[in-house]
Amino acid sequence: MRPELVFLLEEASAKAMLETLLPRVLNPHVHHRLIPFEGKQDLEKQLERKLRGYLNPDARFLVMRDQDSHADCKALKAGLLARCEAAGKGKVSLVRIACRELESFYLADLAAVESTLNIQGLSKHQETAKYRDPDRLGSPSAELGELTRGRYQKVGGSRMLGSRLNLENARSPSFANLIRGIRRLEQQLLSLQR
- Residue 182's pLDDT is 98
Radius of gyration for the chain, computed over Cα atoms and rounded to the nearest angstrom: 17
Are the C-beta atoms of residues 14 and 36 closer than 8 Å to each other? yes
- Looking at this protein, which amino acid is placed at residue 185? L
Domains of the chain, residue spans: 4-101+171-193, 103-162
- Looking at this protein, which amino acid is placed at residue 50? K
pLDDT category of residue 178 using cuts at 50, 70 and 90: very high
Q: Average pLDDT, whole number, for the chain? A: 95
- Looking at this protein, which amino acid is placed at residue 5? L
pLDDT category of residue 164 using cuts at 50, 70 and 90: very high
Are the C-beta atoms of residues 187 and 29 closer than 8 Å to each other? no
Class of domain 4-101+171-193: alpha beta
Residue 3, Cα to own-chain centre: how many angstroms? 21
Are the C-beta atoms of residues 138 and 145 closer than 8 Å to each other? no
